[in-house]
């Protein structure tokens, strides 16, 4: 990322952990928030809304299971619309979690220690939401296990030459590795929770999950190696996952999809939308749980910078698409681009340019990056923009392909919308459960940032 290269650091940045925190106060604060029975009032109110959306989700899934994918607005040229749009959107959101926990670890970005746990949880839940869409879109959902290669009486195998099976492997691997990474990071904190818990059943549950972790120096040594290896493995994995997702499009021959720019452009977009979602979720969480001494304004500033950098890459991708549609000399490519900009879905393209091309430009200003309310609004706009990007790619390419006789319009039905909004409810609901039962900030990694004689953590290189 470009912003790591700037080394013109003049003033001393504020410390990553507020100087008034001690080892004890960090543990008491983060573990205490989980063990306390008090839930912030604002969280209760939003939980009510989220739970309502969760019911919508149950209803929407039920509708598809009972009546089949015919309840959606899909038709013949547009064989998949919201399903793949939402799938890509959710997987992309998940990618920021891995970026924060793995890539920033390898780059020695210490500020990640405050947000990695939360972002990893977000990854897990986002990938769970993502996986639902293709699983429901198969039509006969009870046969979804056919996606896996297993010896069967039909004597058949999956087609390993198809990007769709690559997707199955990429996404399941991603979910598994993300879960393991998250769990390994949790082990020492689960032990801390076990030791802080007052009630017997809490001690038992955290105790079982902590597996008897005792903080032995021999264990830490192996633990750190394991964590580093996982970070090194997750880094190429996250790049491969969204590349494979983009192959779903790029390997086909549809105008607007068949482009070599897709893998890098998708990966950048994934990180961009993921950081937007991290900011969307972190700002309320930080406020409600009063975590300002761990998630400082400096953290928000850095996240906004990453968002700006990846946003610029995404915008460059849009410009490249325009250029190549012209430069290809292909009638179909040129028409596709014309249709995107001036066709019946013109509003989605222009809204996309507004959300992803214009809006992030205000992040050049430090005043904006440190203005929490404004940053929250921008992150919401970016989330919408990234959803629109996938919608534009999927629908405008499909609805008018090579033969005008097969052209048609896609109109989402109430079930399309309810399933989409429902997964948002499901996602936020899972985040709420996570915040109530697990420490949302990594306790031991925050302690690692406190300076002591004999060791000073140099954070001046952190995204200065």
- Name the site residues for another protein (rule: CB under 8 A): 22-24, 27, 149, 155-157, 159-161, 163, 165-166, 169-170, 173, 176-177, 180-181, 183-184, 188, 191-192, 194-196, 207-208, 211-226, 229-230, 233-234, 236-237, 240, 244, 247, 443-445, 447-448, 452-455
Closest by CA to 102, choosing from 258, 212, 234, is 234
Nearer to another protein, 39 or 240 (CB): 240
Nearer to another protein, 231 or 374 (CB): 231
Q: Considering the complex, what minimum distance in angstroms separates the CB of residue 114 from another protein?
A: 14
Q: Considering the complex, what minimum distance in angstroms separates the CB of residue 29 from another protein?
A: 12
Nearer to another protein, 231 or 351 (CB): 231
C-alpha 279/C-alpha 275 separation (Å) is: 6
SS (H, E, C) 39-72: CCHHHHHHHHHHHHHHHHHHHHHHHHHHHCHHHC
452 DSSP β-pair partners:
455
Q: Considering the complex, what minimum distance in angstroms separates the CB of residue 241 from another protein?
A: 8
Contact predicate 426/57, CB 8 Å = yes
Torsion (CA) 381, 386, 391, 393 in degrees, nearest 10: 140
Nearer to another protein, 25 or 460 (CB): 25
Nearer to another protein, 42 or 156 (CB): 156
Contact predicate 88/390, CB 8 Å = yes
Nearer to another protein, 132 or 191 (CB): 191
CA 79 to chain CA centroid, nearest Å: 25
**DSSP H/E element including 236:** helix 217-250
CA 320 to chain CA centroid, nearest Å: 25
Maximum Cα interatomic distance, the chain, rounded to a whole number of Å:
76
Q: Considering the complex, what minimum distance in angstroms separates the CB of residue 163 from another protein?
A: 8
Nearer to another protein, 245 or 300 (CB): 245
C-alpha 129/C-alpha 149 separation (Å) is: 23
Contact predicate 406/96, CB 8 Å = no
Nearer to another protein, 176 or 361 (CB): 176
Q: Considering the complex, what minimum distance in angstroms separates the CB of residue 193 from another protein?
A: 9
87 DSSP β-pair partners:
none
Closest by CA to 262, choosing from 334, 318, 325, is 318
Q: Considering the complex, what minimum distance in angstroms separates the CB of residue 185 from another protein?
A: 11
Q: Considering the complex, what minimum distance in angstroms separates the CB of residue 374 from another protein?
A: 35
Nearer to another protein, 169 or 350 (CB): 169
Torsion (CA) 223, 224, 229, 232 in degrees, nearest 10: 140
Task: Provide the token pair at 277.
Answer: 């979602």
Q: Considering the complex, what minimum distance in angstroms separates the CB of residue 147 from another protein?
A: 13
Q: Considering the complex, what minimum distance in angstroms separates the CB of residue 101 from another protein?
A: 13
What is the SS3 assignment for 12? coil
Task: Provide the token pair at 98.
Answer: 């891995």
Q: Considering the complex, what minimum distance in angstroms separates the CB of residue 92 from another protein?
A: 18
C-alpha 283/C-alpha 297 separation (Å) is: 10
C-alpha 297/C-alpha 65 separation (Å) is: 46
Nearer to another protein, 142 or 452 (CB): 452
């Amino acid at each position: 990322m470009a912003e790591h290269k700037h080394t013109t650091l003049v003033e001393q940045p504020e410390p990553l952990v507020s100087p008034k925190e001690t080892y004890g106060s960090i543990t008491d604060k983060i573990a205490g928030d989980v063990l306390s029975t008090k839930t912030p009032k604002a969280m209760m109110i939003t939980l009510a809304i989220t739970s309502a959306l969760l019911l919508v989700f149950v209803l929407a899934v039920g509708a598809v299971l009972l009546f089949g994918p015919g309840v959606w607005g899909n038709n013949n040229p547009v064989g998949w619309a919201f399903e793949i749009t939402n799938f890509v959107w959710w997987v992309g959101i998940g990618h920021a979690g891995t970026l924060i926990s793995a890539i920033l670890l390898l780059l020695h970005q210490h500020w990640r220690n405050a947000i990695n746990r939360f972002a990893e949880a977000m990854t897990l839940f986002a990938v769970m939401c993502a996986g639902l869409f293709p699983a429901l879109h198969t039509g006969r959902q009870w046969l979804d296990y056919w996606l896996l290669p297993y010896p069967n009486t039909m004597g058949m195998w999956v087609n390993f030459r198809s990007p769709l099976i690559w997707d199955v492997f990429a996404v399941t691997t991603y979910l598994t590795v993300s879960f393991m990474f998250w769990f390994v990071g949790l082990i020492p904190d689960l032990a801390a929770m076990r030791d802080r818990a007052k009630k017997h059943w809490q001690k038992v549950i955290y105790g079982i999950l902590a597996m008897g972790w005792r903080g032995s120096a021999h264990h830490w040594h192996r633990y750190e190696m394991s964590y580093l290896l996982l970070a090194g493995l997750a880094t190429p994995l996250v790049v491969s996952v969204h590349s494979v997702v983009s192959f779903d499009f790029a390997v086909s021959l549809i105008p607007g999809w068949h482009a070599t720019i897709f893998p890098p452009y998708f990966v950048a977009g994934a990180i961009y939308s993921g950081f937007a979602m991290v900011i969307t979720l972190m700002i309320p969480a930080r406020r409600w749980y009063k975590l300002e001494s761990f998630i400082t304004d400096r953290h928000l500033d850095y996240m906004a910078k990453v968002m700006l950098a990846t946003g610029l890459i995404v915008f460059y991708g849009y410009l490249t698409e325009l250029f190549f549609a012209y430069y290809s000399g292909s009638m179909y490519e040129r028409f596709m681009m014309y249709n995107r900009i001036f066709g019946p879905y013109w509003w989605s393209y222009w809204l996309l340019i507004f959300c992803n091309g214009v809006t992030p430009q205000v992040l050049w200003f430090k005043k904006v990056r440190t203005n929490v309310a404004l940053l929250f609004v921008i992150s919401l706009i970016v989330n919408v923009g990234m959803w629109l990007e996938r919608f534009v790619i999927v629908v405008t390419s499909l609805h008018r392909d090579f033969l005008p006789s097969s052209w048609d319009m896609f109109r989402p039905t109430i079930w399309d919308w309810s399933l989409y909004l429902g997964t948002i409810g499901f996602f936020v609901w899972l985040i709420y459960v996570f915040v109530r039962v697990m420490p949302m900030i990594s306790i031991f990694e925050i302690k690692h940032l406190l300076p002591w004689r004999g060791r000073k953590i140099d954070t001046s290189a952190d995204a200065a």
